[in-house]
Amino acid sequence: MSATIIDGKAIADRIQAEIAEDAARFQAQYGYPPGLGAVLAGDNPASAQYVRMKRRACEKVGFHSVAHVMTASSTQDEVEAAVSALNADPHIHGILVQLPLPPQINEERVLRAVSLDKDVDGFHPINIGMLGMKGREALFTPATPTGCMVLLKEAGVNLEGANAVVIGRSNIVGLPVALMLMKANATVTVCHSRTRDLPAIVRQADVVIAAIGRPEYVKADWLKPGATVIDVGTNRVDDPSDERGYKFVGDVEFEPALGIAGAITKVPGGVGPMTITMLLHNTLKAARRIAAAG
Ligand code: NAP
């Protein structure tokens, strides 16, 4: 039996169409569109590409967007000043600080400087704290983990009491998705580079979230038959058969996994499109909250 492919691109397109309609209603009601502001410091080509993609996505759904692009030698004060300018801008409702920041910049201080009302990436320590605490709700949850949760919901996965294994514990993916799965009443195991016998742990999993950053590291025969697999990994590998000379693969051995998993996301076309979509969703939510508060 072949696994169901969880089509992140199709799900993201549908949600973005709904966001575009909501944005048009917002604009009609308030006379201005929801706005997203980005801070990009440094010369990391992937970060610049992500910021361009986010700007294009904003245009597509009718959001206003601005980007503060700064050099790799920017100072702490300059980066924090860019955040403050966006905090004060009434046409900006969501702020995105593109990570990683250059090494001389204290990331925590920058993320703390983002107004809680505009923290659409959900990386402010207060939002992450709320996400982790029982009985509390974060105002905004990080985009990639939220995208994973939406994909699980769309795939009809019942998380109540399910064994969920998260591979990776980064601040932007592994940790927050583990917290979200726990809130959804899954029994969560978080694995990382020091984990002993990863295959044995993955074999217990009803749900696997792979967020490692190593091409096809998770082998198909580690998977429990019928498991749901969300592959966050986006790894560029050489591919002479592709006209660009490379392609992207996930952290999970995809083709063989099709014969074992119950459902699985593709790379590309799985989690990636959901990340931008969840950022747009959070920005619209922020715009509504700010507008309603007058
Ligand atoms: P990261 O900060 O490098 O974290 C990687 C995590 O994987 C770490 O916790 C690390 O463990 C763990 N790890 C590394 N090697 C391992 C191994 N052999 N066995 C078990 N765990 C291992 O990466 P990230 O930012 O979370 O990103 C992970 C992947 O997701 C990357 O491919 C990235 O490109 C992709 N990504 C995709 C999206 C999207 O929108 N699709 C968004 C964000 C990230 P330690 O903590 O012990 O070092």
What is the C-alpha separation between 195 and 167, in angstroms, rounded? 9
In this prediction, residue 30 carries a pLDDT of 97
Give the Å distance between the CA of 78 and the centre of ligand 1.
29
Q: Is 52 in the pocket of ligand 1 (CB under 6 A)?
A: no
Q: What is the pLDDT along the chain (294 residues), one digit of tens a residue?
A: 699 999 999 999 999 999 999 999 999 999 999 999 999 999 998 899 999 999 999 999 999 999 999 999 999 999 999 999 999 999 999 999 999 999 999 999 999 999 999 999 999 999 999 999 999 999 999 999 999 999 999 999 999 999 999 999 999 999 999 999 999 999 999 999 999 999 999 999 999 999 999 999 999 999 999 999 999 999 999 999 999 999 999 999 999 999 999 999 999 999 999 999 999 999 999 999 999 998
Burial of 258 (0-12, 13-18, 19+ CB in 10 A): middle
pTM: 0.97
Give the Å distance between the CA of 87 and the centre of ligand 1.
30
What is the C-alpha separation between 209 and 271, in angstroms, rounded? 11
CATH class of 31-116: alpha beta
| Closest by Cα among 105, 88, 93 to 40 | 105
Give the Å distance between the CA of 43 and the centre of ligand 1.
21
Q: Is 145 in the pocket of ligand 1 (CB under 6 A)?
A: no
Q: Where are the domains of the chain?
A: 31-116, 143-272
Supply the residues annotated as catalytic: 54, 98, 121
In this prediction, residue 192 carries a pLDDT of 98
Quote the Cα angle for 252-245-60, to 5°: 75
Mutation pick for ligand 1 pocket among 193, 237, 279 (CB with most ligand atoms within 8 Å): 193
Q: Is 194 in the pocket of ligand 1 (CB under 6 A)?
A: yes
Mutation pick for ligand 1 pocket among 170, 202, 267 (CB with most ligand atoms within 8 Å): 170
Task: Mention every residue, 6+ apart, whose C-beta is less than 8 A from residue 135.
Answer: none
Mutation pick for ligand 1 pocket among 149, 166, 196, 212 (CB with most ligand atoms within 8 Å): 212
In this prediction, residue 294 carries a pLDDT of 82
Q: Is 189 in the pocket of ligand 1 (CB under 6 A)?
A: no
The domain at 143-272 falls in which architecture? 3-Layer(aba) Sandwich (3.40)
Give the Å distance between the CA of 202 and the centre of ligand 1.
16
Q: Is 37 in the pocket of ligand 1 (CB under 6 A)?
A: no
Among protein residues, the one with the nearest Cα to ligand 1's atom 15 is 193
What is the C-alpha separation between 4 and 266, in angstroms, rounded? 10
Ligand 1 atom nearest to 217, measured from its CA: 18
What would the pLDDT profile of 171-222 be if each residue is shown by its tens digit? Answer: 999 999 999 999 999 999 999 999 999 999 999 999 999 999 999 999 999 9
**CATH topology identical between 31-116 and 143-272:** yes
Handedness of CA 68, 73, 78, 83 (dihedral sign): positive
Secondary structure letter of residue 189 according to DSSP: E
Among protein residues, the one with the nearest Cα to ligand 1's atom 42 is 144
Beta strands in the chain (DSSP E): 4-6, 35-41, 64-70, 94-97, 163-167, 187-191, 207-210, 228-231, 235-238, 246-249, 263-265
In this prediction, residue 1 carries a pLDDT of 65
What is the C-alpha separation between 77 and 105, in angstroms, rounded? 9
What would the pLDDT profile of 88-99 be if each residue is shown by its tens digit? Answer: 999 999 999 999
In this prediction, residue 140 carries a pLDDT of 98
Give the Å distance between the CA of 194 and the centre of ligand 1.
13
Give the Å distance between the CA of 172 and the centre of ligand 1.
9
